[in-house]
Homo-oligomer: A and B are copies of this chain.
Amino acid sequence: MFTKVLVAEDYEIANQGIIKVIQEGLGIQNIHESKYCDDAYLKFRKAFQENEPFELLITDLSFKEDHKVQIRTSGIDLIQDIRKIQPNINVIVYSQESRPDKINMLFQKLDINGYVCKGQNAVRELVSCVQGVFRGDTVLPPEVTEASTDNIVNLDDFDIMLLEELSQGLTKKEIVQKLKKLKITPNSESTIDKKLSKLFDDFKAKNTTHLVAIVKDLGLL
Contacts and interface: CB of A to CB of B under 8 A. Distances in A.
A123 B13 contact: yes
Contacts of A210: 167-169
A14 interface: yes
Give the copy number: 2
B118 A169 contact: no
Q: Secondary structure at chain A's binding surface: helix, strand, loop or mixed? A: helix
A27 interface: no
Interface in A119-175: 119-124, 126, 166-171
A209 interface: yes
Given A168-B213, A212-B213, A213-B167, A12 B120 contact: yes
A30 interface: no
Interface string A187-221: 00000000000000000011111111100110001
Q: Which 6 A-B pairs have the closest CB atoms?
A: A169-B210, A17-B17, A169-B206, A13-B17, A167-B213, A16-B17
Interface of A: 10-21, 35, 64, 66, 94, 118-124, 126, 166-171, 205-213, 216-217, 221
